[in-house]
Structure 1
Amino acid sequence: MEQAPRQQGPALPPAEPSGLGAQALGEALQHAMGLARDGQAGAAETILLHVLDLAPENPDALQLLGMIARGAGRHEAAVVLFRRSLAAAPNQPHVHNNLGNSLGDLGDPTGAAHAYREALSLAPAYDEARVNLSIALLAAGEPRSACETLAPLLRRDPRNARAWAILGQARRENGELDHAIAAFRTALTLRPGHVATLLNLGVALRLAGWPEEALPLLARAAEIDPANPEIAYVLGHCLQDLGRVDAAIVSYERAITLRPTDRAAHESLNDLLWRQGRSAAWLASYRTALARFPGNEGLLCDLTDRLLLAGDAAGAAALLAPHADRAGPELRYQLGRARWSLGEVEAALLAFDAALARDPGFAPAAREAARSHIVLDRPVEALARLEPLLAADPFDQQALALQGLAWRFTGDPREAWLNDVERLVSARLLAPPDGDTAGFNARLDAALTARHRDQRHPLGQTLRGGTQTSDDLFTLPDPMIAAVRAMIEAQVRRWLAALPADTDHPFLRRNTGRFAFSGSWSVRLRSAGFHENHIHPQGWISACYYVALPQAVDYHRQGWLKFGETGLRLGERERITRMIRPEPGLLVLFPSYFYHGTVPFEDSGHRTTIAFDIVPA
């Protein structure tokens, strides 16, 4: 969402250098500042360079040149100039602040935070630097520290709207939506009609499950700033939450009109069209945008991905063929997927290798190459591809799943240690406080059914023959959802406390006893519905809570959960290591890298579940 810009400090009063009179220097600097303020940066720069000819390390001239360089987008040059100014005169809090701004422009939030702290060490009441530090901490993924940084400022100046707005962002990033909403409301009261705050408050309310309250705020923001594509995009999400599908489609289309190459807006629009069964309009936005921007690799890759998911490998390969010679790593990776789907095995492997040649750290290509080697029964080659992946990220869930397969196919005993389904899978029945498990789950099923508004499954998900909610389920203000979440949290805590310690195991070593939900949703399957075998790449722990089940689960293991069998279609090399019979109230917890799926069922009844991922906290 929109983040408040870092504020740039003013120049300090001029200092007297050797070789130039103080009065002449002061007049030259003032004149340069006036020219820069009036938009005559070139003339100002000429004067300042002349000052440096006479006084090469004059800190004020260097600082002003740094500000001009930053205004022109020459951020590397600005950093050099600000550092030269500080080398000549270290006790300049405003220059430390400006240095932090330029480092932030260069994508270095850690360096920016250090510069802002230097400014605050010299001037503890320097509010601009404190707010800028909180922005840098947010960019560095430290929302808790950002909150702590803002606390003394807000105690001293509780009417600082900008600080309240940044606090709202920090609280939201820290998962404290109620506190984020309160902070944004305070900021909006102090600065009514501020577009970024309207947008951020609308986002927070929507994430908290209050789209009805979010909608007028987002509509007001769109009225004030109709050319803002981010507002149109978020408005589309809100309208979708409210079940206003046609209006959501219009809003996403508006976002794309304003920013034609916005990958997220195209994705949201076309995912909605797919789930609503509007095949005639599906993917049209990509083709329209690519007619204007035919070489846009992001859109080419995303359109290819959707064609492959829909089973049109020939269309995907034809789309990418004209761009193959000048393609970057992502496009070459997608071309490899298309070639593989067409049965062109060696061409696919060459495409994955070409992607890695362009970017050795491009993990999707390395994973796909390893997966391909496993399918081709080349587990040693697969392990060679996985080694650098796991060296870079020991908790890469896809790489761990593939490593387990390769270990099994090479007879490595570590596979049993990694994939111990008896030790690392928990299946426990949960009961509500009143003990009425059947009544509780019947009411929960009714509450969840009302949230299944789509016509078919999401394209990129593993369920077939059913629907999936699009909300982050556990954030919704529904008493039934809150009740089941509390039951689940209690069982997760008990399970984590009972797990064995193993500092070498990639699952067990992450157990601190603390956790956070990273995503939650509900799935409702109808007759013939099932989940294809898959893993959860974004989780640490994944889970399923069973709410409602058809009678068919009593016969021939229909609708049962299975572990071990992959989605790679390995034929006789596949194996199922454990099966679990579902029943209402059952919670199953397992490592996210475990392959799992379900058996289809034939029944007039439905199968409702809640699924979620957990990460260490």
Structure 2
Amino acid sequence: MDRQGWLQQAMAALQHAQPAQAAALLREALHADPTDAEAARLLSAALLATGDGEGALRVLDEALSHRPQWAPLHAARGEVQSRLGNTAEAEAAFEAALRIQPNDRVALRSLLRLWLQLSRPAQVLERIDRTFPHAIPPDFLRIRAEALIAAGRGDDAAMLSAGFGADRSCLAADLQLALSLSQAQQAGAAESLARRLLPTHRPEAWFALARALLAQDRLGEAEAALVEVVRHAPGHLLAQEDLVQLRWTRSGDPAIATAALDEALRRDPACTALLVHKARLYDYARGPEAARALLADAARQRPDDALLAQACAEFALKFDAAVAVRDAERAWQLAPQRPGVAIALADATLAAGQPDRALRLATALLAQDPADQHALAVQAVALRQLGKPEYGELYDYSRFVSATLLETPSGWNRLEDYLGDLAGALRRMHLAKAHPVGQSLRGGTQTHQELEKSEDPAIRAFFQAIDGPIRRHLTAIGPGSDPLRRRYSENYAIRGIWSVQLRASGFHTNHFHQEGWFSSACYIDLPPAISDDCQDGWLQFGQPGYPTSPPTGPDHFIRPQPGLLALFPSYFWHGTVPFTGSPDHTRLTIAFDIVPA
């Protein structure tokens, strides 16, 4: 076979997801001509598809020794380094390709996507505007819109997206942009863009539409859109997760919630991700023992499945620490680099009375990401159990926690009047029947609408009411070298805001907030059970979300009162004490996370 035949067959194999076959053909081509740069580039892609990133790098380095000025080789090297997580090396490789061939749009797109991944939207905007001073090509307009969203300019991105057509060459970018617009509270623009993409008959277009409808609280339409997704793509995990969540919170019936999921599992019973998500619903509806039992048979049949082992550990953690350690160690042996495996093992060892081991694991994770709130939460409890003074530095309640009243916003004369109007507006949003999957509340409901986009005057005024207390809290904290204060900024941004209404006997399990810097609890309306005489309904800190050996109880409390805003580090374990009362007694709050801005 000649060179052209090898390359054509290899490309066909890659298109049909047969990378090993493609690699064998390309090795033949390179054996015939070791300087064939195109064969080397394709071979690197085939090796990367088989998971051999290091092998792909070796092939590219050898090819670059023969053709150092061929831009596609540098761009391919950037793709491999990016996949391996070597972002600095990837950036250098893409820049090298662009120095050789400044008009290489493939390399430029990859570089801009890398910068978005690294949260550098200003750099993306500057590079696009400099490269295309007169007319920005459609595919780069999409990237520019993503950068605008990442820079907090969602309104500008929404205006830009209004001019996009259903261009199949930009379909993937438009689908991602529609999802990003929903996340940026531009649900109307997201819906318009998603509807323009529906004629492509892609399940992802229906999914983007569903997310936009969910953001607008149009739950019936959102459910219908999600049904369309899973009808065409039963294994679409995110759509299945959203459909389970929506049907569960609207019905409170696990059978109704998992109907589409069960149908997908009948078609593909070996799909671990779908089975694990069903187990997560079981955890919330029936308890962790039922969740782990659902996975037990599959785990025995697939002992080499790291995701199953990890999920088994996470559920067992809540009722049997020894089993959790065994499951987590199996996941660690199978896939130590898998996201979540190391922290699952840290949680399990902490629960099983091995704080030294938990501390080592958490410290190693913090060396990779000093802002890992889960690792900080585990580290703190391990330090406390070991009697280390560093615990008091991490959990400095006197310095890091505040509890002050809201400021009365413009338009109201008294805080009490404002809270009454705010409570009425929030209660109109609490339409669900069950607590959501994946959240801390039990025995209550949580809003899923974007409070930032509400047109209700009382809800809009809330952001004015909290601004002063937040800024005073940040000023009092100040900068420092500890994990909390090293992220210090005078300015903040809200990342997620929601309302919770607990019924009698309801509570929040002990948890932390992985995506935040500071978290909050703001009390709007409270049941009679909350008083100075007992701690029913109080906010508590310091107790982890699973039993430990020895037991680790709460070591700090805040008594709620209407209008009180509590602010605390997101890595603090926190939960609430259940409260007693009649069925009409509720505990109404707003919570949000903030991050440095």
Pair in the same fold by TM > 0.5: yes
1:615 equivalent in structure 2: 595
Q: How does 1:2-13 map to 2 (within 5 A)?
A: none
1:336 equivalent in structure 2: 313
1:307 matched to 2:287? The reply is no
- Shift of residue 274, structure 1, vs aligned partner: 1.2
Task: Tell me, yes or no, if the aligned pair for 1:66 and 1:79 is still in contact at 8 Å.
Answer: no
Distance in 2 (alpha carbons) for counterparts of 1:333 and 1:229: 29
- The one-letter code matched in structure 2 to 1:335 is C
Task: Map Cα deviations across residues 326-354 of structure 1 (whole Å, 9 max, x no partner).
Answer: 233321122234555564x5333222222
Equivalenced residues, count: 577
1:437 matched to 2:415? The reply is yes
- Shift of residue 416, structure 1, vs aligned partner: 2.3
Task: Tell me, yes or no, if the aligned pair for 2:436 and 2:446 is still in contact at 8 Å.
Answer: yes
- Shift of residue 275, structure 1, vs aligned partner: 0.6
1:424 equivalent in structure 2: 400
Query: Do the aligned partners of residues 475 and 114 (structure 1) sit closer, same or farther apart at CA in structure 2, a change above 3 Å counting?
Result: farther
2:248 maps to which of 253, 270, 274: 274
Secondary structure, counterpart of 1:483 in structure 2:
helix
Could you tell me which runs of 5 or more consecutive residues in structure 1 were left unpaired when the two chains were aligned: 1-27
Query: Do the aligned partners of residues 327 and 260 (structure 1) sit closer, same or farther apart at CA in structure 2, a change above 3 Å counting?
Result: farther
1:221 matched to 2:197? The reply is yes
1:561 maps to which of 512, 523, 539: 539
1:583 maps to which of 520, 544, 561: 561
1:453 maps to which of 414, 431, 456: 431
Q: Highest CA radius of gyration, 1 or 2? A: 1
- The one-letter code matched in structure 1 to 2:403 is A
Secondary structure, counterpart of 2:523 in structure 1:
strand
1:120 equivalent in structure 2: 98
Task: Tell me, yes or no, if the aligned pair for 2:539 and 2:560 is still in contact at 8 Å.
Answer: yes
Task: Tell me, yes or no, if the aligned pair for 1:138 and 1:146 is still in contact at 8 Å.
Answer: yes
- The one-letter code matched in structure 1 to 2:232 is L
Distance in 2 (alpha carbons) for counterparts of 1:414 and 1:190: 56
1:146 maps to which of 91, 111, 124: 124
1:163 matched to 2:137? The reply is no
2:224 equivalent in structure 1: 250
2:18 equivalent in structure 1: none
Deviates more, 1:124-133 or 1:136-145: 124-133
Could you tell me which runs of 5 or more consecutive residues in structure 2 were left unpaired when the two chains were aligned: 15-20
Q: TM-score, normalised by structure 2?
A: 0.82
Deviates more, 1:328-337 or 1:195-204: 195-204
Query: Do the aligned partners of residues 465 and 189 (structure 1) sit closer, same or farther apart at CA in structure 2, a change above 3 Å counting?
Result: same
1:134 equivalent in structure 2: 112
Query: Do the aligned partners of residues 515 and 390 (structure 1) sit closer, same or farther apart at CA in structure 2, a change above 3 Å counting?
Result: same
- Shift of residue 468, structure 1, vs aligned partner: 0.7
Task: Tell me, yes or no, if the aligned pair for 1:110 and 1:136 is still in contact at 8 Å.
Answer: no
Q: TM-score, normalised by structure 1?
A: 0.80
Deviates more, 1:601-610 or 1:82-91: 82-91
Secondary structure, counterpart of 2:537 in structure 1:
coil
Q: How does 1:147-546 map to 2 (within 5 A)?
A: 147-155=125-133, 157-186=134-163, 188=164, 195-196=171-172, 199-200=175-176, 202-222=178-198, 224-226=199-201, 228-277=202-251, 278-310=253-285, 311=287, 313-314=289-290, 316-324=292-300, 326-339=303-316, 343=320, 345-361=321-337, 364-431=340-407, 432-433=409-410, 436-474=414-452, 480-499=458-477, 501-503=479-481, 505-546=482-523
- Shift of residue 168, structure 1, vs aligned partner: 0.6
Deviates more, 1:410-419 or 1:314-323: 314-323
Deviates more, 1:573-582 or 1:69-78: 69-78
Aligned-residue CA RMSD (Å): 4.1
Distance in 2 (alpha carbons) for counterparts of 1:64 and 1:70: 10
Task: Map Cα deviations across residues 508-537 of structure 1 (whole Å, 9 max, x no partner).
Answer: 333243433332211122333322232223
Query: Do the aligned partners of residues 136 and 334 (structure 1) sit closer, same or farther apart at CA in structure 2, a change above 3 Å counting?
Result: closer
- Shift of residue 230, structure 1, vs aligned partner: 1.7
Query: Do the aligned partners of residues 260 and 412 (structure 1) sit closer, same or farther apart at CA in structure 2, a change above 3 Å counting?
Result: same
Task: Tell me, yes or no, if the aligned pair for 1:560 and 1:598 is still in contact at 8 Å.
Answer: yes
Task: Tell me, yes or no, if the aligned pair for 1:159 and 1:190 is still in contact at 8 Å.
Answer: no
Task: Tell me, yes or no, if the aligned pair for 1:530 and 1:601 is still in contact at 8 Å.
Answer: no
Query: Do the aligned partners of residues 63 and 315 (structure 1) sit closer, same or farther apart at CA in structure 2, a change above 3 Å counting?
Result: closer
Distance in 2 (alpha carbons) for counterparts of 1:190 and 1:284: 33
Task: Map Cα deviations across residues 339-387 of structure 1 (whole Å, 9 max, x no partner).
Answer: 55564x5333222222222233457454444444544555445445544
Task: Tell me, yes or no, if the aligned pair for 2:317 and 2:546 is still in contact at 8 Å.
Answer: no
Distance in 2 (alpha carbons) for counterparts of 1:34 and 1:575: 65
Query: Do the aligned partners of residues 92 and 249 (structure 1) sit closer, same or farther apart at CA in structure 2, a change above 3 Å counting?
Result: same
Task: Map Cα deviations across residues 250-303 of structure 1 (whole Å, 9 max, x no partner).
Answer: 322332233333322221111111111243322233332233322222223323
- Shift of residue 166, structure 1, vs aligned partner: 0.9
Percent identical across equivalent pairs?
30
Task: Tell me, yes or no, if the aligned pair for 2:158 and 2:186 is still in contact at 8 Å.
Answer: no
